[in-house]
Structure 1
Amino acid sequence: MTHIHATTQASEFWEARYKDSERVWSGRPNALLVREASHLPPGTALDLGCGEGADAVWLASRGWQVTGVDISSTALERAAAHAAEAGVGGRTAWERHELGTTFPRGSFALVNAQFLQSPVHLDQRGVLRQAAAAVAEGGTLLIVMHAGWPSWQSEPPFEAEFPTLEGTLAELALPEESWCVETMGAVRRESVSPEGVEGYREDNVWRIRRT
């Protein structure tokens, strides 16, 4: 993704985004996380760009021990409150990182990277490679990203390069002898614009297991 403004810092952008409203996201887990991770046995999980915590809380409610990571302190405060309300505060931990600059330590049975796409600078390829490196043996890397603008977006608000299925897999540069691609495909889903215009979005999903 490219910058909205060259001078806009990622931390400033996302903190302002969260402070601008009481809630940014729906509070429900991402549908492709539910589809791809429901069958996985619980263990340790890392949720990158956790936002207000819906994915992490869903995982924790299924028995996972989850570390949620975000650049926004406000988002992390809301995530911790969500976890406490859901009764899973003891199975969640929250860390502030500016991905591409710092990254959480440890290895995890699941690394969840949902929509790590930003209108301000983000080293997406570098972060996804770090995500893969954080997957424990036998563990799973789950990546979901928008494949393009939503159908109702007649004029893109900023210049962006969207990931392709094969392109992202190639950029990860995972050794074939130690990784197995279990899911790789595009999913179209119905969606509604903030103004109420009905349409659809297409997302790409990769579920890759470290053997």
Structure 2
Amino acid sequence: MSQVHDAAFWDERYSSSAAIWSGKPNPHLVSGAIDLTPGKALDVGSGEGADAIWLAAAGWEVTAVDHSQVALARSAEHAAQAGDDVAARISWEQADVTDWEPGEGIYDLVSAQFMHLPSALRIPLFARLAASVAPGGSLLVVGHNLSDRETPVRGHFDADSFWAGADIVASLDPDAWDVLANTSPGRTVVHEGAEHAINDTVVHARRKV
């Protein structure tokens, strides 16, 4: 059965270490957003804030949403360290994204990086995120590729948390969206002292004006 971790789980996990993630923005966000005109951005599952801070430093007005209040407090500290101008462009919001409503037609960029949710929750969440993109705006969704379900570095994830780009593309009305990227780029990660080749799933779509 798929497991969904609650806010208490994530608060405890973030409290267990001074840093869970690398502190660097996700590379697919950087490559997908680097040429976009800054506007309003939504960062879903913002973790320790690296993506939101990178976006704010690039001129975006960012709403960053996460389950964990501990993560959000840490993120706010990181943003303050990046400078008052960066911190002022980020709004930190605690929410359970499995039933959270972001609103419709609001954001020029919606980014969801590695949301490890079962399909029963992930599919409606992604539909709500797509609906929140403004005309001319971008939806950027990144996750673990289906091909990685049996790899040692991904073995602790439930099989239902992996998905294919085609699933996202099929959910987008072709009359309303242009799909700019549907790729499975590879990279190398280190897990328990060993290098592993993995693949991500990256979908970047733009809502038509």
Q: Same fold (TM over 0.5)?
A: yes
The percentage of aligned residue pairs carrying the same residue is 40
Give yes or no for contact 1:68–1:95 (8 Å, CA) kept in 2. yes
Compute the displacement of 1:176 (Å): 1.0
Aligned in 2, Cα 1:122/1:175: closer, same or farther, shift over 3 Å?
closer
Matched pairs, number? 203
- Measure the CA separation in 2 of the matches of 1:112 and 1:186: 17
2:142 to 144, 159, 162: 144
- Answering whether residue 107 of structure 2 is matched by residue 111 of structure 1, we say no
- Measure the CA separation in 2 of the matches of 1:155 and 1:38: 28
- Measure the CA separation in 1 of the matches of 2:45 and 2:34: 20
Give yes or no for contact 1:83–1:89 (8 Å, CA) kept in 2. yes
Unaligned runs of 5+ in 1: none
SS of 2:30's equivalent in the other structure is helix
CA RMSD of aligned residues (A): 2.1
Compute the displacement of 1:182 (Å): 0.5
AA paired with 1:163?
Answer: W
> In the alignment, what sits opposite 1:157?
156
Structure having the larger proportion of residues in helix? 2
Aligned in 2, Cα 1:153/1:163: closer, same or farther, shift over 3 Å?
same
Give yes or no for contact 2:153–2:196 (8 Å, CA) kept in 1. no
- Measure the CA separation in 2 of the matches of 1:154 and 1:60: 31
SS of 1:125's equivalent in the other structure is helix
Compute the displacement of 1:20 (Å): 1.4
The structure with higher relative contact order (CA 8 Å, sep 6+) is 1
> In the alignment, what sits opposite 1:69?
65
Give yes or no for contact 1:48–1:69 (8 Å, CA) kept in 2. yes
Compute the displacement of 1:155 (Å): 8.6
TM-score in terms of structure 2 length? 0.90
> In the alignment, what sits opposite 1:186?
184
AA paired with 2:156?
Answer: P
TM-score in terms of structure 1 length? 0.89
Aligned in 2, Cα 1:188/1:175: closer, same or farther, shift over 3 Å?
same
Give yes or no for contact 1:47–1:67 (8 Å, CA) kept in 2. yes
What does 1:57-136 correspond to in 2, within 5 Å?
Answer: 57-87=53-83, 88-105=86-103, 107-118=106-117, 123-136=121-134
Unaligned runs of 5+ in 2: none
SS of 1:23's equivalent in the other structure is coil
> In the alignment, what sits opposite 1:30?
26
